[in-house]
Amino acid sequence: MREDEIDNQQSESFHGEIQFDYSDPDFTENGRDLWEHYRYEVEKGQVLLRIDKYLVERIKGTSRNRIQHAAEADCIRVNGHPVKSNYRVHPGELITVVMDRPRYECEIVAQDIPLDITYEDDHVLVVNKPAGMVVHPGHGNFDGTLVNALAWHFRNNPDYDVTDPRLGLVHRIDKDTSGLLVVAKTPQAKTSLGAQFFNKTTKRRYLAVVWGQMKENEGTVTGNIGRDLRDRTSMAVFPDGDQGKHAVTHWKVLENLAHVAVVQCQLETGRTHQIRVHMKHIGHPLFNDARYGGDQILRGNRSSTYASFIHNCFKACPRQALHAKTLGFVHPATGRQMDFDSPLPADMEELIRRWKNFSQGA
């Protein structure tokens, strides 16, 4: 879809619900990624009316309480500026509702999906997400997501609502990336954790298997990341800085194994597909990353024996070899440093084992 077609859709959807949605946020404000969910232009002749009353009459399936919570989270905007729920609307004003997550296209259904909980208290929950689980509903994934699982987990907690923008997931990882995520159970916790992610004081380290041996022991990739101009489903690096968002990834080699390397990646920023895109940019796509070309034989010979070995490796780890292994943050209530580590999932353990055996026999 061309940029002008997107602009046309935006103008056609000016009144009411926003019908289009990409995984990339619509804009970023103070380090917070935001998606526009609803947009209204106040009609001529509209009498002065509280904005929560105005919106509850127009947004299907919502409640005044939810709208008030959204206003508390600075999600209700008038002409681009946050307002409180008692703000009185005026004719001609532009009202938008923004969230720190993509738009849910249906009501969230609580589903009894097992969660691998690393830590939980009254303020935060740290969960180890398996590969294959989508974080937020949308784009054809309306159930079976982490949010559906959280709705079930908190079903008996009257203070937790998965649609409340003041609560919930503070960051995201891709569907086929495994590893640690933190969930805020209170508005204060989300505010604190959000500030830590914005100020880059959290500790996030990933383990990846990439194609090709690394010539240096460590390095840094700096390059703006934005939507690929030729493929809207992928991201790309724009080194000149004219497009995309600033992104920095630090990497360190843990082990070189024949035609792949096991690397540790530390995020300084948190862009969509950041590690996957940055590693491809420097010539080392993640192993079996179909979106970025890692599901092909990129190193080694072309013998049938070697091709069979690679095919079996793809079967052993049928997704991009990326795991969010460590997560550290300051506890929003106690002020204590909290550091968590998750073991490598079985598929990546098996992949690395196979490459070690291959390297020893090469």
Mean pLDDT is lowest, of 22-26, 69-73, 137-141, 235-239, for 22-26
CA distances, 274 to each of 79, 237, 246, 311 (Å): 32, 9, 10, 26
Q: CA-to-CA distance for 39 and 133, rounded, in angstroms?
A: 30
Q: What is the number of H-type helices and E-type strands within the chain?
A: 8, 20
The yes-or-no verdict on residue 29 having pLDDT over 90 is no
User: What is 301-358 written as a DSSP string?
Assistant: ---HHHHHHHHHHHHHS-S--EEEEEEEEE-TTT--EEEEE-PPPHHHHHHHHHHHHH
Its pTM stands at: 0.83
Active site residue 174: yes
Could you tell me the domains of the chain?
A: 3-99 (3.10.290.10), 117-198 (3.30.2350.10), 203-361 (3.30.2350.10)
Which amino acid type is present at position 254?
A: L
**C-alpha 341, offset from chain centre:** 19
CA distances, 215 to each of 261, 283, 317 (Å): 10, 12, 25
* Other beta carbons within 10 Å of 269: 15
Mean pLDDT is lowest, of 13-27, 120-134, 182-196, 339-353, for 13-27
Helix H, strand E, coil C: the string for 269-310 is CCCCCHHHHHHHHCCCCECCCHHHCCCCCCCCCCCHHHHHHH
Averaged over 300-319, what is the pLDDT? 96
pLDDT digits (tens, 9 = 90+) for 260-306: 999 999 998 888 899 999 999 999 999 999 999 999 999 999 899 99
Burial of 244 (0-12, 13-18, 19+ CB in 10 A): buried
Short-list 274, 247, 255, 249, CA closest to 214 = 255
> Is residue 141 within 8 Å of 113, Cβ to Cβ?
no
For the chain, the average pLDDT equals: 89
| pLDDT top residue among 217 and 30 | 217
Q: CA-to-CA distance for 171 and 195, rounded, in angstroms?
A: 12
Residue 105 confidence class, pLDDT cut points 50, 70, 90 = low
Averaged over 155-171, what is the pLDDT? 91
Say which residue the tokens 């070690």 belong to: 356
Short-list 36, 48, 28, 129, CA closest to 340 = 129
> Is residue 329 within 8 Å of 196, Cβ to Cβ?
yes
Q: What's the pLDDT at 5? A: 35
Q: Which of 14-23, 154-163, 308-317 has the highest mean pLDDT?
A: 308-317
Say which residue the tokens 């390095």 belong to: 219
Q: CA-to-CA distance for 133 and 145, rounded, in angstroms?
A: 6
pLDDT digits (tens, 9 = 90+) for 228-257: 888 878 999 997 767 888 999 999 999 999
Q: Which of 33, 100, 161, 174 is catalytic?
A: 174
The C-alpha R_g of the chain, in whole angstroms, comes to: 22
Averaged over 146-159, what is the pLDDT? 95
* Other beta carbons within 10 Å of 132: 12
